[in-house]
Amino acid sequence: MNAIISASELVKELAGVNPPVLLDIRWQLSTAKAAGAPPFDGRAEYAAGHLPGAVFVDLDRELASAPGAGGRHPLPDVAEFGAAMRRAGVSSGRPVVVYDGGQGWAAARAWWLLRWTGHPNVRVLDGGLPAWDAPLSTDVPAPAEGDFRPAPGAAGLLDADGAAALARSGVLFDARAGERYRGEVEPIDPVGGHIPGAVSAPTTDNVAADGRFLPAEELRARFKTLGVTEGGEVGVYCGSGVSGAHEVLALAVAGIPASLYAGSWSEWSADPQRPVAVGPDPQ
**What pLDDT sits at residue 14?**
97
**What pLDDT sits at residue 184?**
97
Residue 140 domain flag: no
What CATH number does residue 41 fall under?
3.40.250.10
The number of folded domains in the chain is 2
**What pLDDT sits at residue 1?**
74
Cα–Cα distance measured from residue 50 to residue 101, given in angstroms and rounded to the nearest whole number: 10
Q: Is 238 a catalytic residue?
A: yes
**Which is catalytic among the residues 157, 238, 245, 270?**
238
- Regarding whether 197 and 86 lie in a shared domain, the answer is no
- Regarding whether 167 and 66 lie in a shared domain, the answer is no
**What pLDDT sits at residue 36?**
59
**What pLDDT sits at residue 34?**
45
Residue 280 domain flag: no
Residue 261 lies in domain? 157-268
**Tens of each residue's pLDDT in the chain, 283 residues:** 799 999 999 999 999 999 999 999 999 886 544 455 667 889 999 999 999 999 999 999 999 999 999 999 999 999 999 999 999 999 999 999 999 999 999 999 999 999 999 999 999 999 999 999 999 999 999 999 999 999 999 889 999 999 999 999 999 999 999 999 999 999 999 999 999 999 999 999 999 999 999 999 999 999 999 999 999 999 999 999 999 999 999 999 999 999 999 999 999 999 999 999 999 999 8
- Regarding whether 114 and 166 lie in a shared domain, the answer is no
Annotate the chain with three-state secondary structure: CCCEECHHHHHHHHCCCCCCEEEECCCCCHHHCCCCCCCCCHHHHHHHCECCCCEECCHHHHCCCCCECCECCCCCCHHHHHHHHHHCCCCCCCCEEEECCCCCHHHHHHHHHHHHCCCCCEEEECCCHHHCCCCCECCCCCCCCCCCCCCCCCCCEECHHHHHHHHHHCEEEECCCHHHHHCCCCCCCCCCCECCCCEECCHHHHECCCCCECCHHHHHHHHHHCCCCCCCCEEEECCCCCHHHHHHHHHHHCCCCCEEECCHHHHHCCCCCCCCECCCCCC
